[in-house]
Structure 1
């Protein structure tokens, strides 16, 4: 028992305490927190109990109180039952063996906990790497969020513009609806006016039929006048031939003043008759012109043609009359009364 010193027991206890204090400062206790705390409490409590038991046993063995008959007495000299020294030593040796066995068990537990702590430390490094990766992701996400904030502001501006354009479109739609209502009213009015116009169209159609009948009758009158004008032209041509013959006779022979006067009177009478005929024809043409002017737009073409023919005839007749008047004036100069 002398070889079992207090210093060796103290080393065993310190190794147990050291094993319990080998957790790193930054080791997370998230997954194994309960086991580690139980282990620490158990280790500390066992160390205290073991220290107290060893101290007590060493003191009782190293400092026995011997009686006169060689037996060990109580340290406080209390009257107790005496026990032989061999039994005490045997008992203490058994207790020491038990304690050593328990120490070996605790060493194995400490070894397992060391492995667990190393694994936890390795896990802690992996967690730190993952945390760094997550921090990088968070930084990237923050950058994306800042970009999204900028694009969100642009989107908000565009939304404001869209809202303003919506308001303008609604105003325009209201204006269009008002104009559509006005147009609907106008369409109704147009339908009413269309019915009235249909009635007027029927009246105008009937009037056009009547005018067409008048135009047909006017065309007949115009044909008759055309025939009369042709007759006048023919008579005028004959008179011109007579005048030519007369002029030829005057150039080649002389006539007496009485004969010339008689011829002149005859020509004057014929001229007066022709003039009266022309006057009558002119009056008829004037009446025809008045009838033509009363016609509507449907007879404008025929009226223009009639007027054109009339103007041509009138110009032709005026020219012929002027020529005839000139010839008569020349005859008057040649044969004064």
Structure 2
């Protein structure tokens, strides 16, 4: 039997600590910790796994830092305004020296220097993304590509490319264009290939990253729908949400992408699905129905990323699945439907 601690944030005033036990499989609530209102995203420092960052996704947003003590309890340490509305994502950059928080409803973000203890915040730099004509910028996620930061903008239909000057200032150097109205929400990168999850088109695209930051040519190689067969995607009620792309390992040598679908209109009695895709070339593998309604957050964990946890914001609680068939499918192991486990939108695996 192996036990894993999982921290979960969401649209409540606390972070929940969950305990997942592998044999017999079970998922239980251990404790909750105050974290401000709507702590909707959590991320660990790459330099210290006892340091946690989070967002308060509010009209007056904020970035928070926490410590995780030896008993795995969570304690808030510091906070700083995000200077924008509804920050839905934050993470430390790979060097661990600064964090970036993105304000979904004001089209801007802040690069925030981190102190030597990683828990306190220096003087931030605000960066603003250009809104489309008669539209809005909605930066939703970022990842790094070599020395650049890529920001997916769901409102502007662009993947912004950011670079850093020698004085440390970040600036927009270009963008990767996306189909108008597609709503790029999440991205994942392998070599010079970028996979883009489009929320509003319910699609996953395989694209080549343009060598030139000024290229506006269509980079798309292939695009596939993420929704289950027979779903009407034209009524605006079905939306892709999360994208996971674990690195291959000895247990799972083949690349797979995992996409959460969320039905915001007419629920499927089987619950929302997780669509699984293989790469080289990009191809659809299967849909796994989860018994969850409104999947917003999911995350992989375990020594070989062999487990996937996901939550339904409106029904179904929180569930842990095992990756099976070499990663080509998922098997339900445990579910928790306690009220305190509801409204979870982000997860961190600790052990």
TM over 0.5: no
Structure richer in helix, relative to its length = 1
Instruction: Look at both structures and tell me which one has the larger radius of gyration over its CA atoms.
Output: 1
Structure with the bigger RCO (C-alpha within 8 Å, sep 6+) is: 1
Tell me the TM-score normalized by structure 1: 0.13
Structure richer in strand, relative to its length = 2
Tell me the TM-score normalized by structure 2: 0.13
